[in-house]
Amino acid sequence: MLTLIWLIPALPFAGCVLLALAGSRLSRRATAAMGVGSVSLSALVSLLIMGQFLLRPPAGGAVTQTLWTWLRVGTLAPGMAFRLDPLSLLMALVVTVVGALIHLYSAEFMEGEAGYSRFFAYMNLFVGAMLTLLLADNLLLLYLGWEGVGLCSYLLIGFWYKDSTNGAAAMKAFIVTRVGDAAMAVGLFLIATQLGTLTIQPMLAQAQQVWPVGSSEATIAAALLLGGAVGKSAQLPLQTWLPDAMAGPTPVSALIHAATMVTAGVYLISRMHALFALAPAVQLAVAVIGAVTLLVAGCSALTQWDLKRVLAYSTISQIGYMFLALGVGAWSAAIFHFMTHAFFKALLFLGAGVVIQALHDEHNLFRMGGLRRELPLVYWTFLVGSCSLAALPLVTAGFYSKDLILWYAWSSPQGRVWLWLAGIVGAFLTSAYTFRMVFLVFFGEQRGVVSHRPRLRMQAPLVILAVLSVIGGFVEIPAVLGNVPLFSVFLRPVLPEPAVLADVGSSASLMAVASVVSMAGILLAYALFLRHPVLVARWAASRWGSALHRFWFAGWGFDWVYDAVFVRPFRRLAQLNQGDMVDAGIRGIAWLTAMASRSLTRTETGHVRWYAMGVAGGAAIVVAILVWL
């Protein structure tokens, strides 16, 4: 079964090609069957491979499958090769399973849209590119998948391209992530020239032999890769594209935010953990970026009125938790939160899509309300996802993954008290904005009329993801609650666990604090947005409250700064350069050549005596030059 690794990315790619070639001639049912079926088959292959991997682990704990040598330049010969180890297998399994559920949901959600086959072709291409990224044996193939998901994000965010706003959002996502991608490309050039290979495992071994801890080469290489990770995972300062990515259809938002593009940076850093361990300053920067991002995005989520934008800022914040874990050396904890986040965030986006569609494409939280009676299945599944996002103690997957990150932020050698405090404050903000959303959508007075109700293809993914959002956390139970470290043991051959500088008693105390903080955020949301909403209205109407609300609502002014520093000056320069000054020199040469040609043609008079005089004068000049020299 392990010889079928290539099928995992190949099946979505095949679905994309078939839909691109024959999609317009297929019925919608056949299109959906091909789009959903290809990713579902990929998920089935991943499950079968996982089963064999667990029952009969391969020698060395990994399998490499080389299809062919991609190119050969001197000693550099990256192959079209896939490597299956616990990390890549786990992430591929999550991507394919969650992706298949989102595709199934999309078959009903998008059935009334034009471009049905084009949508599924793009979605299949997106999943295939992400799987290529995850399974790549070398950094060049990984970069191909990396750029593939960037292209697909542009195509899917701008799927409704006739609306200029959607096109602008797609372009913004493409350009902002290109900043990080350019840094990553330079990092790959540095690694290739300094270490002589782009194959990941030999490259990491070579780096540990050649570069001492803290060396400038290791620091620069890690910093450049971090630039790519920050762009793709929407972390400060390149987070501005993700809220605008809500312009795409809701299934696209679920796929981007839950299981694919925004987690690519988390995977890159965890895969290259040995390199980041050689650059402690950069690893600390990863933790700081994550801590600051989770706070900034959490505050912004509290002020949004668009349901999908609340979830978008929530994604930025939760990816910040993953970066925080990576920065303190808790590699497996970051991947654990990636998995649980994929379950509950996909659930929340798909639930939000049902609500928006049911209310005639209404996104405004304050025009909803009372929907728990009208959409009971959506309410209960959305509530499960919200509880997991808010880390409701003991019973949700999000509690176990987030608590593990907070524990390592406190107890690992790279941890800091202030990093733990940032995580605790972020947990409070998460609970508050999550249940603000729940109370405004499903409780209180009903303000909208439900005109559409989901059928089985939209209901089934919600139920399955709700179950996973609960049971997904029980694969890693901390010592204080029974010590079931199945997840970290599975990843241990690939991702080492950090040392712990605190005892089990401290773990119990920290868990209690985190639980109380999460519950406090829920109670605050209940008091302010359900029981006494007038208090929020008064605060928002005050001078300082209004200013702070506008600041957080605008994403802390990052878009304004970038517009002032980069966008407007560039546009001004483009306007000044309407005549294309770069080509002015070339046009000048052409003008001089034309003038010289016209001048020479004027000498062609047809008078023989002038020709004879010219010949004689030229001969005299040549003789004079020869005599003089």
Q: What is the pLDDT of residues 131-146, one digit of tens each?
A: 999 999 999 999 999 9
- Structure confidence at residue 319 (pLDDT): 96
Percent of the chain with pLDDT over 90: 73
- Structure confidence at residue 622 (pLDDT): 85
Mean pLDDT for the stretch of residues 177-205: 94
Buried b (16+ CB within 10 A) or exposed e, 417-442: eebbebbbbbbbbbbbbbbbbbbbbb
- Taking the CA atoms of residue 580, residue 583, residue 588 and residue 590 in that order, the dihedral angle to the nearest 10 degrees is -130
Measured from the Cβ of residue 377, the count of other Cβ atoms closer than 10 Å reads 16
Among 154-163, 260-269, 569-578, 581-590, the minimum mean pLDDT is found in: 581-590
Mean pLDDT for the stretch of residues 592-615: 80
3-class SS at 445?
coil
Closest CA to 290 of 346, 345, 229, 342: 229
Closest CA to 307 of 343, 354, 342, 374: 354
Q: Please tell me the distance from the alpha carbon of residue 211 to that of residue 81, in angstroms, as a whole number.
A: 26
Q: What is the pLDDT of residues 293-329, one digit of tens each?
A: 999 999 999 999 999 999 999 999 999 999 999 999 9
Threshold 0.95, pTM exceeds: no
Q: What is the pLDDT of residues 381-410, one digit of tens each?
A: 999 999 999 999 999 999 999 999 999 999
Q: DSSP letter at 542?
A: S
Give Cα 236 distance to the centre of its chain. 13
Q: What is the pLDDT of residues 280-291, one digit of tens each?
A: 999 999 999 999
pLDDT over 80 at 603, yes or no:
no
Strand partners, 477: 484
pLDDT over 70 at 582, yes or no:
no
Percent of the chain with pLDDT over 70: 99
- Structure confidence at residue 78 (pLDDT): 85
3-class SS at 586?
helix
Q: Please tell me the distance from the alpha carbon of residue 324 to that of residue 333, in angstroms, as a whole number.
A: 10
Q: What is the pLDDT of residues 463-482, one digit of tens each?
A: 999 999 999 999 999 988 98
Please report which confidence band the pLDDT of residue 340 belongs to, taking 50, 70 and 90 as the band edges: very high
DSSP string, 105-148: HHHHHTTTSS-HHHHHHHHHHHHHHHHHHHHBSBHHHHHHHHHH
Q: What is the pLDDT of residues 38-63, one digit of tens each?
A: 999 999 999 999 999 999 888 888 99
Mean pLDDT score across all residues of the chain: 92
pLDDT over 80 at 24, yes or no:
no
- Structure confidence at residue 363 (pLDDT): 93
Closest CA to 79 of 246, 218, 168, 202: 202
Distances in Å between the Cα of 492 and the Cα atoms of 90, 195, 342, 489 are 13, 26, 21, 5
pLDDT over 80 at 607, yes or no:
no
Q: Which residues contact 360 (CB under 8 A, 6 or more apart)?
A: 448, 449, 451
Give Cα 596 distance to the centre of its chain. 58
- Structure confidence at residue 581 (pLDDT): 66
pLDDT over 80 at 584, yes or no:
no
Q: Please tell me the distance from the alpha carbon of residue 355 to that of residue 453, in angstroms, as a whole number.
A: 9
**Residue 91 is inside which H or E element, if any?**
helix 86-109
- Structure confidence at residue 499 (pLDDT): 85
Contact criterion met (CB below 8 Å) for 431 and 525:
yes
Mean pLDDT for the stretch of residues 140-167: 93
pLDDT over 80 at 209, yes or no:
yes
Mean pLDDT for the stretch of residues 144-163: 93
Mean pLDDT for the stretch of residues 94-103: 96
